[in-house]
Amino acid sequence: MMSLRNIANMSLNIPLRAVVGGTNLLGSGTNLSNTGIVGCATNVGTQDSSRIPFNRGVFISQSTNIYSNLAFEDWLYKNWSFEKRNVMFIWQNSPCVVIGRHQNPYVEANLQYLESAGVPVVRRNSGGGAVYHDEGNLNCTFFTTRDRYNRKENLEVICQALQEDFGIQAHVNHRDDIIIGQDFKVSGTAAKLGRQSAYHHCTLLVRTNKQQMKLALQGDKNIQSKATASIPALVMNLHDANEDISVQKLISSIGRKYLESSTKGIDASSQQMYQLSNGYTLINPTDDWFPGLAKVEAELSSYSWLHNKTPRFTITRPVTVPECVAHNTTVNIAVQVYHGKVEDVKIASQDVCPDVADLINEIGGALKGSQYTPAIFNDLASRMRLPQPLRNQRSVM
């Protein structure tokens, strides 16, 4: 028996040949021919299933770029058929915050801090809540047909790996979080369901910087919105449950457990060789390997995808009226934002003197339709000092 470390090393370092439908997917660990991939993507539906040597495959990303990895996930979901096989995609990212498809980045992430720290905030396509990723976190995506989509089954593979290879007792709760002990969350889940295909992905906290996580996820909770809310949980690193665990060991363990279910009935040594030669595929999420991926990546990293897909929200802030307009006056102003654009500006305070109210309403009217940024409140105050028509110019922002 090879040690786990060896399997992990082999799965990550040796040149692998993954054969899909008789087409060489991988020439070597780092060199993938375009034609192979295109061939795979387009003839999957028609190939003879008897020629496929496995019905489960593990893809391991060589990138730690959140945009590239999410783009690959989306690319695979849209371009592959999972009728004949299931795929598990294993990936990691440099520090970033990933929010759910229907969430509000202002609510979920500490945008000011993250910008200064150079940590990206990214909207993904699946539902669910906000998570923090770093090199101590491992992500697994389970691709199936829509009909075979089964989150509990996927999470059980992980729980089994944790228990059998690391002696960690873990269970899946009603929210499909993986829990250790009484109530410590080590994994969060989200999913995307389409007409033919579906994927379920989850995080696994192996040795994440919990302080950074806490800081990164401190968003503005005073925003009113119908957006999907994150549910805060007590979290724990797997490394605190077993110091022997590492991300590499976990990749190997989960990958093996996942592949095992497709090779039952084969003797142990051939099973291992079979998995090594057929099961693991190192992928490089680039447009060269997966034509069209760059376009998906550009969309995911665009300003409008992050901000303008945000569900309608209202943010209320006190605005100090300039002394030249009114003495010692502060007015609460509520700005309603839809898909990134200012939809309405309203006075949220009682008993505002009519002159000030008129002025605010006038400026508010001019701001409708502009791109929302938190600077709108300062902008509103400074416009009050300006004479008409300057204060109503739409181009000031």
Partner 1 sequence: MARLLLHGVGSLLPRLSASHHLYTVTLLPHTLHRHFTYAATLLAERKYTEKHEWVAVEDNIGTIGITNYAQESLGDIVYAQLPEVDAEYEQMEECGALESVKAASELYSPVSGKVTAVNTAVEDQPSLINQSCYDEGWLFKLELTVPAEIDELMDEDAYKKFLKESEQ
CA-to-CA distance for 391 and 358, rounded, in angstroms? 13
SS (H, E, C) 115-179: HHHCCCEEECCCCCCCEEECCCEEEEEEEEECCCCCHHHHHHHHHHHHHHHHCCCEEECCCCCEE
Q: What are the residues whose beta carbons fall under 8 Å from the beta carbon of 70, sequence distance 6 or more?
A: 98, 122, 124, 125, 297, 300
CA-to-CA distance for 227 and 210, rounded, in angstroms? 25
How many residues sit in the footprint of partner 1 (CB under 8 A)?
A: 23
Q: What are the residues whose beta carbons fall under 8 Å from the beta carbon of 188, sequence distance 6 or more?
A: 128, 129, 131, 177, 202, 203, 233
Question: 335 and 361 in contact (C-beta within 8 Å)?
Answer: no
Task: Spell out, one character per residue from 273 to 312, where the chain touches partner 1: x when CB under 8 A holds, - when not.
Answer: --------------------------------------xx
Footprint of partner 1 on 218-237 (CB under 8 A): 226-228
Q: How far is the CB of 59 from partner 1 (least distance, A)?
A: 22
Count CB atoms within 10 A of the CB of residue 121: 22
Residue whose token pair is 């999972």: 82
- CB nearer to partner 1: give 74 or 165: 74
Q: From the list 86, 92, 104, 126, which residue makes contact with partner 1 (rule: CB under 8 A)?
A: 126
- CB nearer to partner 1: give 63 or 228: 228
Q: How far is the CB of 214 from partner 1 (least distance, A)?
A: 21
3-class secondary structure, 180: strand
148 interacts with partner 1 by CB under 8 A:
no
Q: How far is the CB of 229 from partner 1 (least distance, A)?
A: 8
CA-to-CA distance for 111 and 262, rounded, in angstroms? 44
Q: From the list 95, 105, 120, 128, which residue makes contact with partner 1 (rule: CB under 8 A)?
A: 128
Distances (CA, A) of 341 to 183, 315, 336, 393: 40, 13, 8, 17
- The DSSP bridge partners found for residue 124 are none
120 interacts with partner 1 by CB under 8 A:
no
- CB nearer to partner 1: give 91 or 199: 199
- CB nearer to partner 1: give 226 or 295: 226
Q: How far is the CB of 152 from partner 1 (least distance, A)?
A: 12
Pick the piece of the chain touching partner 1 (CB under 8 A) from 83-91, 194-202, 238-246, 317-325: 194-202
CA-to-CA distance for 360 and 329, rounded, in angstroms? 13
- CB nearer to partner 1: give 168 or 202: 202
Q: How far is the CB of 349 from partner 1 (least distance, A)?
A: 25
Q: How far is the CB of 219 from partner 1 (least distance, A)?
A: 17
Q: From the list 190, 251, 296, 367, which residue makes contact with partner 1 (rule: CB under 8 A)?
A: 190
3-class secondary structure, 225: strand
Structure-derived torsion over alpha carbons of residues 166, 167, 172, 178, reported in degrees to the nearest 10: -50
- CB nearer to partner 1: give 225 or 286: 225
CA-to-CA distance for 49 and 255, rounded, in angstroms? 23
**What's the number of CA atoms in the CB half-sphere (13 Å) around residue 29?**
11
Task: Spell out, one character per residue from 79 to 118, where the chain touches partner 1: x when CB under 8 A holds, - when not.
Answer: ---------------------xxx----------------
- CB nearer to partner 1: give 195 or 327: 195
- CB nearer to partner 1: give 193 or 375: 193
- Helix and strand numbers (H, E) in the chain are 14, 18
Q: From the list 85, 123, 185, 192, which residue makes contact with partner 1 (rule: CB under 8 A)?
A: 192
Q: How far is the CB of 176 from partner 1 (least distance, A)?
A: 7
Q: How far is the CB of 339 from partner 1 (least distance, A)?
A: 9
In the complex, the residues that contact partner 1 under the rule CB under 8 A are 100-102, 125-129, 175-176, 189-195, 200, 226-228, 311-312
